[in-house]
């Protein structure tokens, strides 16, 4: 697992050593991105395991700490050790672990690391070049510092939930735990920034990553909508108005078709021609009501007519036919895929995006694969560690503990 070269190629991040105390989704996704591109990540779990080991899905719906889909996905290519950082012995071992680490990632409640004697200042004294990435709900300080978050509450506070859904109903959230994944995605930027500074300038430091701010600033329509609101005496342009973002007659939104749904995105005003061509109604432009074009796309009295044409055309075709016919004219229409569709999708499959990963307990499963293909520095498929799988390798081989020491630590509930 610590190979740095593959087929003559080197991993981009093979010289980065990470100690990862983070749990559940955001932090582990951040370090997964780094691990899959070659960083060494020592995942430090409490003796009972990362809580995500208890999050589903599980094969056959039977929970098992080594079979959680989320855990298996988020912890690929990591070394797994157990350590109770609430104990003095655990804290001592953690200090030993960070001595030659480049990056420490933690997601504890602000103040906990200091409480355990593991605050940045203490760790800096051990390793001045250490980057400590602290991912927290609201940042290390500020009025909401001690507030708690869930996926829904995170989406709510950042401002985007209010603008998602239908005007006459309650706002409705994003899919699954997408926001927490996005937080991990953005945190990986912060992690790399810290490492670049440490390597380039010899400076270690703490990075205060606030999920609240990252949500407000980096989620789909957030940053633009904040500005439209600032521009217009706090009347944001994107409201909870369903598919009608812009008031034009261009088809826009999700439409039913013969076997499912398609996503149509309106795009530039002149792309109305691509729509007309695809649905075989180019003659409409001869109609004086559609002149002058493209200004006529704002004539809302034509909306019903255009919608009727769109619905009729969609319902006469499958989602795949809609997609193919529209894309032939560069009209941005795509199928709304389910996971079943994706499993068989000729593009994802054709690009070999899915990789089969074998795991000693969970067995063989297909995982989402390389999110990018760097020509020089490969991505690697790998598996998540078993709970405490690498205790011996890390504690004995690297830190010099003996096997009897490990037995002692285990009896004490430290590992």
The residue among 330, 218, 222 whose CA lies nearest residue 270 is 330
Q: Are 190 and 131 in contact (CB under 8 A)?
A: no
Token pair recorded at residue 184: 């991990």
Indicate the residue among 69 and 117 with the shorter CB distance to another protein: 69
Buried b / exposed e along 375-398 (16+ C-beta atoms within 10 A): eeebbbebbbbebbbbbeebbeee
Beta bridge mates, 386: none
Question: What is residue 174's DSSP assignment?
Answer: P
How far apart CA 281 and CA 284 sit, in angstroms, is 6
Q: Are 79 and 386 in contact (CB under 8 A)?
A: no
Indicate the residue among 250 and 391 with the shorter CB distance to another protein: 250
Least distance CB 355 / another protein (angstroms)? 11
Least distance CB 49 / another protein (angstroms)? 16
The residue among 52, 17, 18, 136 whose CA lies nearest residue 384 is 52
Least distance CB 286 / another protein (angstroms)? 21
Indicate the residue among 6 and 227 with the shorter CB distance to another protein: 227
Q: Are 344 and 320 in contact (CB under 8 A)?
A: no
Token pair recorded at residue 312: 């009729």
Least distance CB 312 / another protein (angstroms)? 15
Least distance CB 340 / another protein (angstroms)? 5
Least distance CB 400 / another protein (angstroms)? 29
Least distance CB 258 / another protein (angstroms)? 14
Indicate the residue among 188 and 284 with the shorter CB distance to another protein: 188
Indicate the residue among 288 and 350 with the shorter CB distance to another protein: 350
Indicate the residue among 68 and 391 with the shorter CB distance to another protein: 68
Q: Are 69 and 46 in contact (CB under 8 A)?
A: no
Indicate the residue among 127 and 391 with the shorter CB distance to another protein: 127
β-strand pairing of 354-359 with 333-335? unpaired
């Amino acid at each position: 697992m610590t190979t740095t070269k593959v087929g003559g190629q080197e991993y981009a991040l093979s010289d980065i050593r990470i100690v990862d105390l983070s749990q559940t989704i955001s932090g582990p996704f951040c370090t997964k991105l780094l691990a899959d591109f070659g960083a060494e990540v020592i995942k430090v779990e409490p003796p009972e395991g990362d809580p995500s080991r208890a999050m589903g899905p599980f094969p056959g719906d039977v929970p098992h700490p080594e079979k959680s889909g989320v855990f298996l996905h988020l912890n690929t290519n990591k070394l797994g050790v157990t350590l109770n950082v609430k104990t003095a012995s655990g804290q001592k071992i953690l200090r030993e672990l960070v001595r030659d680490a480049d990056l420490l990632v933690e997601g504890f409640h602000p103040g906990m690391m200091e409480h355990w004697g593991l605050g940045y200042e203490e760790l800096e004294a051990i390793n001045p070049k250490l980057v400590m990435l602290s991912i927290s709900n609201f940042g290390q300080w500020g009025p909401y510092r001690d507030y708690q978050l869930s996926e829904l509450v995170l989406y709510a506070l950042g401002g985007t939930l209010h603008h998602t859904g239908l005007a006459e109903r309650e706002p409705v959230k994003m899919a699954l735990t997408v926001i927490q994944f996005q937080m991990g995605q953005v945190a990986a930027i912060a992690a790399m920034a810290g490492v670049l500074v440490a390597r380039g300038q010899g400076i270690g430091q703490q990075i205060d990553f606030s999920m609240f701010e990252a949500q407000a600033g980096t989620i789909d329509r957030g940053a633009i909508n904040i500005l439209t609101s600032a521009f217009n005496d706090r009347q944001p342009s994107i409201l909870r108005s369903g598919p009608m973002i812009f008031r034009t007659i261009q088809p826009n939104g999700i439409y039913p078709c013969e076997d499912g749904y398609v996503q149509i995105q309106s795009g530039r005003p002149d792309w109305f021609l691509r729509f007309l061509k695809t649905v075989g109604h180019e003659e409409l432009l001869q109609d004086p009501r559609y002149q002058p074009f493209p200004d006529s796309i704002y004539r809302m009295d034509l909306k019903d007519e255009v919608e009727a044409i769109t619905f009729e055309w969609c319902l006469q075709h499958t989602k795949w036919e809609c997609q193919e016919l529209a894309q032939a004219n560069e009209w941005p229409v795509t199928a709304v895929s389910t996971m079943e569709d994706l499993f068989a999708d000729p593009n994802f499959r054709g690009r070999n995006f899915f990789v089969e990963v074998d795991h000693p307990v969970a067995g063989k499963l297909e995982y989402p694969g390389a999110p990018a293909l760097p020509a020089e520095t490969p991505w690697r498929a790998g598996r998540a560690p078993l709970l405490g799988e690498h205790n011996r390798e890390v504690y004995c081989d690297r830190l010099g503990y003996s096997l009897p020491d490990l037995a002692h630590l285990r009896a004490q509930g430290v590992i």
